[in-house]
Amino acid sequence: MDIEVGSNLYRNSDGTIMIDGVPHIQISRHPSTGALLVNFALFDENGRMLAKVVDSALMFNERRAYSLSKTARQVSIIEAATGTVLLQLDMKEPDRIRFSKGMFYTMKGRLLEVSDKEWKIGKLAKSNQTVDANGGSVVIG
């Protein structure tokens, strides 16, 4: 599976996005419908879990502070109070996923920001790169 993160392209990945050395996002497709399936955990700046998504369904949502919007080709997590999109994944093609928006803390308490032009975590930023994951994970941070 190819995954675009901002303007970066990661080819031949296994669908896992490792952030700060931890598998943070898992992307796959439903075996019979082909729908986009996402596993993801949302943390605060202290590393405490606030929400958890399993197979594109919100399984844990502390204080109902987040909402999940999904179609067969898109999954978004939104902060209910502000309407801010914290994570957005879109299926461009059956084997190509676009991670176009993101703004959330990693398990280690570092802020990850993903925009159309780059991903940024701490002082590290990457844009316009193509990486062959060789069947492994996409690595950020």
Q: What is the pLDDT of residue 62?
A: 81
pTM across the whole model? 0.94
Q: What is the pLDDT of residue 129?
A: 97
Q: Does any domain span residue 132?
A: no
What value, to the nearest 5°, has the Cα angle with vertex 134 and ends 119 and 99?
30
Q: Does any domain span residue 137?
A: no
- 71 contacts: CB under 8 Å, gap ≥ 6: none
Q: Does any domain span residue 104?
A: yes
All residue ranges of the chain with pLDDT < 50 are: none
What the block records as the tokens of 28 is: 């796959």
Q: How many domains does the chain have?
A: 1
DSSP code per residue over 49-79: EEEEEETTEEEEEGGG-EEEEE-SSEEEEEE
Q: What is the pLDDT of residue 63?
A: 85
Return the number of other C-beta atoms located less than 10 Å from residue 134's C-beta.
9
Q: Does any domain span residue 82?
A: yes
Range of the domain at 106: 2-120
Q: Does any domain span residue 68?
A: yes
